[in-house]
Amino acid sequence: MLLLASLLGACMPRQLLVNSAADALTAQGQAAEEDIGLAREASAFYLKLSESLLRQSPGHLPLAESVASGFTQYAYAFVGFEAERLVSTDAKAAHQLNLRAQRMYWRAHRHAMAALNQTSPGFSAALAQPQASRWPVLRPDQVGVAYWAAAAWGAYISLSKDDPDAVADLPLVGRLAELAWRTSPDHGQGALASLMGNIEAARPGGSAAKAAAFFDQAIAVSGGQNAGPFVAKAEAIAQAAGDRPAFEALLQQALSVSAKHTDLSSQIMRQRAQWLLDNADDLF
């Protein structure tokens, strides 16, 4: 008993220190960074440090959310976007960047799902059950992690269209996002509703009207102050329908909204909206 007590005494302070460091790192990660270049340069160190801490404290939901969001956003904003800009001039380089983005999306998804399984044992197995009555119950404190797990998973599948096994998981992505949406439909100032719209638009047999309604909900939840849903609706609905006037109008709204904010997300959306407008001739 004395030996066991001494071992526990040695382990607990170390775990407390890990959790304290994770708490501090999560709080630091939530601070707004206004410079895109600086954010990109700092992200690699921040992500590696966060990932190392998460491996030692896999059930730390805020840190898991931070890691999953960090890898997903880095892949989207810096790697995948660069691939899109290069595809017409250097297809080989664009392909390599897409492969890197794909790996980062899967990494984000893996970390998020590990945290969900750690805090709700058997979560993945329950999610795969065909009967809705056997699907897992998502707690409010798990919604953020589930959102990024689904967002990263969907992004991974979008870059894996030649892999039937990956594409076959799309219904599970929708199921996971819906579990989060049912628990907290306003999560992320409309980000979750926007994800639901993207999934509905991408789903075989999906309803464009239902997807548009999700995007409109996202815009309403954010009070029209989040540029992301405008860009998402432009690409998923207007572009898919070949409606260039609506496409350009939505992107102009995104530019107007993002110009009022200096946070990194707004800058990234403004950059994407402008690029889409500049390349509209190639998209229609």
Q: Return the higher-pLDDT residue of 197 and 9.
A: 197
User: Domain-by-domain residue ranges, the chain?
Assistant: 38-184, 193-284
Secondary structure of 219-246 in HEC code, one letter for each residue: HHHCCCCCHHHHHHHHHHHHHCCCCHHH
Q: Return the higher-pLDDT residue of 58 and 14.
A: 58
210-263 per-position pLDDT tens digit: 999 999 999 999 999 999 999 999 999 999 999 999 999 999 999 999 999 888
Instruction: Report whether pLDDT(123) > 50.
Output: yes
CATH class of 38-184: mainly alpha
What type of residue is 61?
L
Task: State the Cα–Cα distance between residues 169 and 180, nearest whole angstrom.
Answer: 17
pTM of the full structure:
0.86
Task: State the Cα–Cα distance between residues 190 and 186, nearest whole angstrom.
Answer: 5
φ, ψ (nearest 5 deg) of residue 226: -120, 120
Place of tokens 């775990």: 15
pLDDT at position 95: 96
Average pLDDT across the chain, whole number: 87
Instruction: Report whether pLDDT(139) > 60.
Output: yes
